[in-house]
Amino acid sequence: MSKVVTAEQAVSSITNGQTVAASGVIGWIVPDKTLKALGARFESTGSPRDLTFYFPCGTGDAVGIKGMDHVAREGLMKRIVSGSYINPVDPATGKRPALMGLIHENKVEAYSWPIGASMQWLREVARKSPGYITRVGLGTYADPECGGGKFTAACEDDLIRKITLDGEELLYYPTWNIDVAIIRATSADEFGNLSFEEEPLLSSGMALAMAAKASGGKVIAQVKYLVKRGERAATQIRFPGIFVDQIVVDNEMHMGSEVQDDRAYLQPTSSFSGLPDIPFGFDKVIARRAALEVRQQELSIFGFGAAADIPLVMAEQGLLTPENTYDKYWFTTEHGSYGGIVMNGWQFSANRHPDALIDGLMQFDAIDGGLCRFAALAFAEFDGEGTVNVSKFGKANPGAGGFTDIAANAQRLVFTGSFTTGGLNISYQDGKMRIEQEGKVSKFVKQAQSITYRVRDGVLKGQTAIIVTERAVFEVTPEGLVLTEIAPGADMQRDILDLMAVKPVAIHQPLPLMDRSLFLP
C-alpha cells in the first residue's frame, strides 16, 4: 500500500486536542503545503479544534512561506510552544502575522522556549524520559521566577519548572506526547525513506519524527520528489521509511524565503559570488566595528539581525575567500551550517557555500558544550542590571531563538545594534557621523522588559562582553558599563549619556575615537 497521499488526506485524521509538531527555520525546510492544508481544513469544516502546536523554531516567514501562520486560527490553535516567533510586516498588506494578532489579543496560550531547550527536549520525548534538565536559562525569561516562558496571560500551565538536584538549581522541562509530526525532506521513495539533498539545513525534522513515533503518533513527510526505492544509496538516506506514515509531494516547494533553488546553499565553491550588498549606513558601521573582534581559528557563531551582517562585511573587505574560510575563519549559526558565508535577513541560518551540515540537536550539543567560543548577537535592550533583552519588547514577541544558549556558553560576546531605534537617521561626511534625527526609543534602559541573558553574571564567571553601536562601544564589567570608544562627530553628553537611563560606571580617559575608516562609504 502506497504511503503517498495528498496534503488534504494527510491532515484529515488529525483530531481535536492533539499535539501537532512541525519543522522549519524561517523559510527553510518548511512543510508549507501540509500546514496550509490543515489551516484550510479548519476554515472549511471548523475542525480539528484546540490543538497544541510545537515548533522548535519560528517556522515560515509569514509572507511568501507562511508556515505557522497557516494554522494561527482562533479555535484551531489552543496552545503554541515555539523556540521563536516571526513578526514581520507584510510589505503587500502592511499587516503583521496572524499569529502575532492571536498573541497580542490573548487568544492563544503562547509559550516561548530557548531553541536549545526546544531541540533537546525532543530527544527526551523520543527516549521516553521524564523531561529535559538544563542550567541554561536560569534567571532569564524561561525561569519560572521570571515568567516561565509564558508570552500571554492565557498561559496557566507551568511547562518549565525549577528543581534542585544535588544542591544545584536547574530548569526542568517535563515531556508530553507528540501526536503528529509534520516534517520536510527533499526526496522519498514510496516506502518513505527520506533524503535531504536539496535542503541547506537539517534542523529538528528527524528528532520530531522520532519523538512522535515514540509517543505512538504519526509522521507526515512532505517532499519535493518521489523516487524509486533502491535508486539512492543507503548513505544518502538520512531517515528510514519504517518511521514515516504518509508522504505528501509538492513539486513546487521552494528551497527557502525568496530562494527557489540555489545550489550555493548546498556546497563549497572555488569563489564566493552572488553575495548581497549591505548599503552604507549605521548598520554597516556597526558590522565593520564588530568584525574587528572576530579572530582566526576560533569557532564563531552569529545570531539573527545586525550580527549576521558581520561576515558579509568581512567578505566585502576581502578578508574571506573559500581558502581562508576553510583554514582561518570558522563560521556557523545555531542551525548547523558550517563554513562559507553566514547570510542575513530571510536567508539567515543557511550559510552560502557551506562546508558541512549537522542537525539541530547536534548543533546545540556543540553550543552548550562551549565549542562556539566567540558569539556575535544583536540586542534590543540593555539595562542597568547587566541584562540583555531580545525576547520580548514593545509589540514584538520574537522569543530568544538560540540567543540564550549561545550567550550562556560562549567565552567572548559581542552585542550589536543601533543606540536608539524608531526613526533614527544618520548622515556621514569625511569619516564623521551626524545625527539628523534621533531614534524615538533608547535601547539603554533602567530595566529590560524581558531577561534573555544576564550578561553581568556571565562576566563574573569569566566571560568577556562588549556592546557595539554606531556611536559608541562599551565593555560590560561586573560593576556596570564602561564607555571605551566614541564615534567621530558624536557628542558624548547629548548623543550618548543623556540617552542612557543608567549611566556608565566609567569612561576611558582619554576616550579613544572609533576608527574613521568605519564611517567612510
Any idea what the CATH number is for the domain that residue 13 is in? 3.40.1080.10
Instruction: Clarify whether residues 157 and 92 are in a common domain.
Output: yes
Rounded to the nearest integer, the mean pLDDT of the chain is: 96
> Is there a domain that residue 491 lies in?
yes
Q: Tell me: pLDDT of 238 over 90.
A: yes
Cβ–Cβ < 8 Å for 138, 126: no
CA 39 vs. chain centroid, Å, equals: 24
Instruction: Clarify whether residues 226 and 294 are in a common domain.
Output: no
H or E element that contains 405: helix 403-409
- Characterise 67 by phi-psi region: left (phi > 0), alpha (psi -120 to 50), beta (else): left
Q: Tell me: pLDDT of 92 over 80.
A: yes
What pLDDT shows up at residue 306? 86
Cβ–Cβ < 8 Å for 156, 109: yes
> Is there a domain that residue 261 lies in?
no
Instruction: Provide the edge-to-edge strand list for the sheet that holds 168-174.
Output: 131-134, 168-174, 161-165
Residue type, 3: K
Of 207, 234, 249, the last residue of a domain is: 249
Of 4-8, 79-83, 244-248, 320-324, minimum mean pLDDT range: 320-324
362 exposed, middle or buried (CB, 10 Å; 0-12, 13-18, 19+)? middle
CA 60 vs. chain centroid, Å, equals: 12
Instruction: Clarify whether residues 136 and 96 are in a common domain.
Output: yes
Instruction: Clarify whether residues 238 and 277 are in a common domain.
Output: no
Instruction: Determine which one of 334, 381, 470, 475 is catalytic.
Output: 334
Model pLDDT for residues 46-78, shown as the tens digit of each residue: 999 999 999 999 999 999 999 999 999 999 999
- What count of Cα atoms within 13 Å lies in the side-chain half-sphere of residue 27? 21
Instruction: Clarify whether residues 75 and 212 are in a common domain.
Output: yes
Q: Tell me: pLDDT of 325 over 90.
A: no
Distances (CA, A) of 482 to 287, 374, 485, 502: 20, 21, 9, 12
What pLDDT shows up at residue 135? 97
> Is there a domain that residue 19 lies in?
yes
What pLDDT shows up at residue 480? 97
306-309: long-range pairs with CB below 8 Å, 24+: 306/378, 306/416, 306/417, 306/418, 307/376, 307/377, 307/378, 307/414, 307/416, 308/333, 308/342, 308/343, 308/344, 308/345, 308/348, 309/278, 309/283, 309/284, 309/344
Model pLDDT for residues 109-152, shown as the tens digit of each residue: 999 999 999 999 999 999 999 999 999 999 999 999 999 999 99
What pLDDT shows up at residue 93? 87
Maximum distance among all Cα pairs of the chain, rounded to whole angstroms: 78
- The whole-angstrom separation of Cα 167 and Cα 283 is 45
Q: State pTM to two decimals.
A: 0.96
> Is there a domain that residue 265 lies in?
no
> Is there a domain that residue 266 lies in?
no
> Is there a domain that residue 50 lies in?
yes
Catalytic, 438? Answer: no
Q: Tell me: pLDDT of 482 over 90.
A: yes
Q: Which three cell numbers stand for residue 361?
A: 540537536
Model pLDDT for residues 290-300, shown as the tens digit of each residue: 999 999 999 99
Q: How many domains does the chain have?
A: 2
Instruction: Clarify whether residues 419 and 457 are in a common domain.
Output: yes
Length of the chain: 521
Q: Tell me: pLDDT of 1 over 80.
A: no
CA 119, 121, 124, 128 torsion-angle sign: negative
Model pLDDT for residues 251-289, shown as the tens digit of each residue: 999 999 999 999 999 999 988 988 999 999 999 999 999
Instruction: Clarify whether residues 226 and 315 are in a common domain.
Output: no
- The whole-angstrom separation of Cα 46 and Cα 60 is 23
Mean pLDDT of the region 457-464: 98
Instruction: Clarify whether residues 295 and 154 are in a common domain.
Output: no
> Is there a domain that residue 104 lies in?
yes
Model pLDDT for residues 191-221, shown as the tens digit of each residue: 999 999 999 999 999 999 999 999 999 999 9
> Is there a domain that residue 180 lies in?
yes
Per the listing, cell 539581525 goes with: 305
Cβ–Cβ < 8 Å for 22, 182: yes
Instruction: Clarify whether residues 202 and 341 are in a common domain.
Output: no
Instruction: Clarify whether residues 348 and 494 are in a common domain.
Output: yes
Model pLDDT for residues 345-362, shown as the tens digit of each residue: 999 999 999 999 999 999
Instruction: Clarify whether residues 238 and 299 are in a common domain.
Output: no
Instruction: Clarify whether residues 290 and 233 are in a common domain.
Output: no
What pLDDT shows up at residue 324? 81
Range of the domain at 77: 4-249
What pLDDT shows up at residue 220? 98
CA 296, 302, 306, 311 torsion-angle sign: positive
CA 472 vs. chain centroid, Å, equals: 26
DSSP code for 96: P
What pLDDT shows up at residue 155? 98
Angle at 484 between CA 479 and CA 486, to 5 degrees: 135
Cβ–Cβ < 8 Å for 46, 39: no
